[in-house]
Structure 1
Amino acid sequence: MKRIRITPAWYFSDEAGNQLDPKLFALLEGVHRHGKLTRAAEGVGVSYRHAWNLLNKWGEFFGIALVELERGRGARLSPLGEKLLWAEQRVIARLGPQLESLGSELNLAIQQTLEGTKPVLRLHASHGFAVELLPMHLGELSLDLQYCSPREALAALNRGACDLAGFHLPQGEVGGRVSREYRDLLKPRSHRVIGFIARRQGLMVAPGNPRGIAGLVDLAAGGARFINRQAASGTRALFDGLLAEAGVSPSRIRGYEVEEYTHSAVAAYVAAGMAEVGFGVEAAARRFGLDFVPLATEDYLWVCHQRDVEAPRFATLRERLRSAEFQAAVAALPGYAPRRCGQLMTLDEVLP
């Protein structure tokens, strides 16, 4: 299938018109990950000589080396190389969901023009690693995916702007507190729930956890710089619920008011050294080479109208969710697991 993929691009230029080669970021990421320029070059698909020439060229452009080579110790990023890499990662992490939503709209319009109208499932949900897997596993079922907060998704469902709305429900006592955020938008008589996944959330910290942070009390007492999620997000609702449960005031957390808009953006913020700890899913922490302190497990659920559950597109969706292929892909994500995946339930069965 022909698909549009929208990605951000960087442009550094000088008076001679030189522009930054996108392969440079892939090289920097490879050096950071492997500590060897040979491995980084292989990953990008270029020769060692070409990789070295590229690094030299852009080192001269900035006037500072981007990678430092040491005999017997491999390669490591210079301070500037690290700043460039993490800046690029933060841009992708912050803009990725919006660009993916726009790409979904464009792909759907183009596909319908080329192939005619096919069944479309409109899903409004918060961004997540398991949600990203869906377009690759739905076969002929077209997905119109729009990323938004849980409250926005449920409001869209109630006004008929989508077929499915995603929301998060933490397991345990904190789930009762968080569920109150959604109860005014949930209708037990006319809504049904489709199970999706469970995922671990917790604190993302630098490798080795140099601050020795084991929980929320340590976070508040130690004065570590924190990066938060935006107020409307389901992850923020979970974090605030955990703070209330632990008796920790947000005012005691340094940086509580500083926000990012995706799990990956929080992880990139910590990986760049701009904060010492953040809150989000384990998969994001592992992707950025961070350590992870688990604090909660939450169910990611979808809500739909009861009148729609027998429609063919919903049967196809539930069949795909129950497939071994999709569930294996979910299980491969750190901290993720399929949970009641594709199972149809009432709100009374899932709400605390």
Structure 2
Amino acid sequence: MRPNGVHLHHGLESGHQHGGELAHPLFDLLSAVQASGSIQRAAASLGASYRHVWGSLKRWESEFGRPLVTWTQGHPAQLTPHAQALLARERLLRARHAPQIAALRADLERLFEYAAGDETPVLELPAVPDLALALLRDAAIQRHGLHLALQPRCSADALAALADGRSPAAAFALPEDARAEPALAAPLAVLGGGGFVVLLVLRRTLGLMAPAQALPGGITAVVEAGVRIVGRPPGSSAEIVWRQLCRREGFAPPPPARIEPTHEAAATAVAQGLADAAFGCEGAAAAQGLAFRPLAHDRLLLAATAEAATGPAFAPLRSALADATWHQALSALPGVERLPAALVT
């Protein structure tokens, strides 16, 4: 075990971080060198001197006992294979934990606002991680006086929290044939029995994502070529849809090379070369610059009890859902279409 442990810090600074953003001087430095191919340009992008950046690289190389950057006169600076692997894994860790990082950041921001006398109301929402919901959270606090506290959950847990009364609202993803899944049938039956309303329905395009030169032609190509594919947690909407698609093609779902909890983490694993392909939403593929082959759809729903949805506590949420700026941001998300709200089926 290393004598130096990881210490996490937070502070109030100008500007805002989003998602899984975390600052660390080593990874900021490696990213800058990788992006620029030059220590001089990396230093300029970081607002530091060449001497400072060079000294930092040497200190980290001494700490690890391995070179991190190769560079000779007249040639671009390049990360060593070890540094490339280190940076890829750090990016994946942040993508994997982005929902929790964002939730903690929002809680800390509320804490500091409370310290300054701000008592903006809070609505806690068990929710499957999704960029559309993150944008809704931003709209709610920026323009509608509501802290929408997204509590990261898998779809089955979020749905169950609403169905059994532990939460007055929840956001969850459902495959198009959701009632055929035993884990979803019971809570959906409760919601379909009355007393609940759907406030938001988004249709999301799902498919295969991979680098353009290696995008599989379909499920058969994935299975027969032995593609290292990223899996999703059992019972998630994406895992259910993938399983259904494989069976329709006459295949058992191939064993995943790794399992990642979100669409964004799955796409990051592929983009960083830690897997060959993944099945997930189009928006996650686009964010990582991956090619995408559409295969299916699912739905993201925000539902609530009828009593809560019409009450005064939900008025800011209803206002945020009608926000024109949020609608514009939503329309820019690849593979996302807003549908009329309806009963959960």
Deviation by residue 1:302-321 (Cα, 9 ceiling, x = unmatched): 11111222223433223323
Q: What amino acid does structure 1 have at the position aligned with 2:92?
A: R
Matched position secondary structure for 1:339? strand
Show the counterpart of 1:308.
Answer: 308
* Structure 1 residue 336: Cα displacement: 4.3
Name the count of aligned residue pairs: 325
Please name the residue that 2:227 is paired with: 224
Query: What is the match of residue 144 of structure 1?
Result: 149
Shift of 1:146: 0.7
Output aligned runs, 1:96-111, within 5 Å: 96-105=98-107, 107-108=109-110, 111=113
Q: 1:9–1:133: structure 2 CA closer, same or farther, 3 Å change rule?
A: closer
- The Cα shift of 1:262 comes to 2.1
Q: Does 1:247 align with 2:250?
A: yes
Residue of structure 1 aligned with 2:209, choices 197, 204, 208: 204
Whichever residue aligns with residue 207 of structure 2, its letter is G
Give how far 1:71 is off. 6.5
How far the C-alpha of 1:57 sits from its partner, in A, is: 3.2
Partners of 1:120 and 1:313 within 8 A in 2: no
Superposition deviation, residue 285 in structure 1: 3.0
Report the Cα distance in structure 1 between the residues aligned to 2:294 and 2:219, rounded to whole angstroms. 11
For residues 318 and 286 of structure 1, the distance between their equivalents in structure 2, rounded to whole angstroms, comes to 29
Q: Provide the secondary structure at the position in 2 that maps to 1:249.
A: coil
Match of 1:83 in 2: 85
Corresponding residue of 1:337: 336
Deviates more, 1:37-46 or 1:83-92: 37-46
Distance 1:241 1:309, change over 3 A: same
Please state if 1:176 is matched with 2:173.
Answer: no
Q: Percent identity?
A: 31
What are the Cα deviations for residues 186-210 of structure 1, in whole angstroms up to 9, with x where unaligned?
322111112253333222323521x
Contact kept, 8 Å, 1:108 with 1:144, in 2: the verdict is no
Determine if contact 1:150/1:165 at 8 Å carries over to the other structure. Answer: no
Q: Distance in 1 between matches of 2:342 and 2:335?
A: 21
1:339 Cα offset (Å): 0.8
Cα offset for 1:328? 2.8
Matches within 5 A, 1:1-352: 22-69=24-71, 74-105=76-107, 107-108=109-110, 111=113, 115=117, 118-139=120-141, 140-170=145-175, 175-177=176-178, 180=181, 181-186=183-188, 187-188=191-192, 189-209=194-214, 212-250=215-253, 253=254, 255-256=255-256, 258-333=258-333, 335-337=334-336, 339-340=338-339, 344-347=341-344, 351=345
Cross-structure match for 2:4: none
Output the CA distance in 2 between the equivalents of 1:291 and 1:37. Answer: 31
Q: Structure 1 pair 69/326, CA: closer, same or farther in 2 (3 Å)?
A: farther
Q: From the superposition, tell whether residues 313 and 99 of structure 1 become closer, same or farther in structure 2 (CA, over 3 Å).
A: same
- RMSD over aligned Cα, in angstroms? 3.3
Aligned residue identity for 1:176: D
1:80-118 Cα offsets, whole Å, 9 max, x none, are 111110121122122232333344455556655654654
Indicate how the Cα distance of structure 1 residues 177 and 138 shifts in structure 2: closer, same or farther if over 3 A, else same: closer
List per-residue Cα deviations over 1:264-293 (Å, max 9, x = no partner): 322333234332122222333344343333
2:97 aligns to what SS in structure 1? helix
Q: 1:118 to 1:287 in 2, by over 3 A?
A: closer
Measure, in 2, the Cα distance between the counterparts of 1:271 and 1:195. 31
Q: Could you tell me how far apart the structure 1 residues matched to 2:337 and 2:115 are?
A: 35
Gaps of 5+ in 1: 11-20
Q: 1:194–1:302: 8 Å Cα contact kept in structure 2?
A: yes
2:3 corresponds to which residue? none
Structure 2 residue runs of 5 or longer lacking an equivalent are 1-11
Amino acid at match of 1:100: A
How far did 1:213 drift? 1.1
Distance 1:262 1:32, change over 3 A: farther
Residue identity in the other structure for 2:87: L
In 2, are the aligned partners of 1:177 and 1:241 still within 8 Å (CA)? no
Amino acid of the structure 1 residue aligned with 2:267: A
2:167 maps to a residue whose letter is C
- Does structure 2 retain, via aligned residues, the 8 Å contact 1:28–1:81? yes
CA distance in 1, matches of 2:262, 2:213: 23
Alpha-carbon deviation of 1:8?
Answer: 9.2
Tell me, yes or no, if the aligned pair for 1:104 and 1:144 is still in contact at 8 Å: yes
Give 1:92's aligned amino acid. R
Question: Aligned letter for 1:265?
Answer: A
Calculate the TM-score normalised by the size of structure 1: 0.78
